[in-house]
Amino acid sequence: MVLLKAGLTQCYEADEEIVNCKSIINFRNARPLPSAIPEPLVASIATLIIMDNHELIWSFQKKIVEIYNQQNLIPLRGESDSYRINGREILTWYHDVTNANAIKQNAHISYFDLLNDLFICSDEMIYFTAHLFLYRPFINNPLNYGHECNGREVFPNIQNI
């Protein structure tokens, strides 16, 4: 059951989970609740449920950062953009590795752009990995649902999110 507030004092319940609402008109199966709920409680429930898009995005971003910290997800640019991983300077190491090749190639390749691309790809992979940890409880494992069909074992892909 989800509580939401419409207007000033009327509270409703709905069967569906609500993320963002400004009007009760958007919800199916909404039913008025008894008016015995105290107004301060109604106001605090409404404050928790009714979020504008900005608050929703920031709360989601905070959850992703929380997952970064819980799972120790660190991109190539290092923790807190220190450009150090396991005590090793990434920029120095990258320069040492690519310097010899840059001399051979007459520097026709922009190694700065290549390094920047690596950092961006690393950031995106960490962000995607954090999403996987966030959605982990809702992702099914097809190996758990295997069954035999025409003498073969089949593992269905159940799309559950």
Express each pLDDT in 42-94 by its tens digit. Answer: 565 655 566 677 788 899 999 999 999 999 999 998 888 899 988 889 888 88
Q: What is the pLDDT of residue 99?
A: 79
Please count the other Cβ atoms lying within 10 Å of the Cβ belonging to residue 153: 8
Ordered by start, the domain boundaries in the chain are: 2-51, 74-138
Express each pLDDT in 102-152 by its tens digit. Answer: 667 666 677 788 889 999 999 999 999 999 999 988 888 888 888 898 999
Count CA atoms within 13 Å of residue 125 on its CB side. Answer: 11
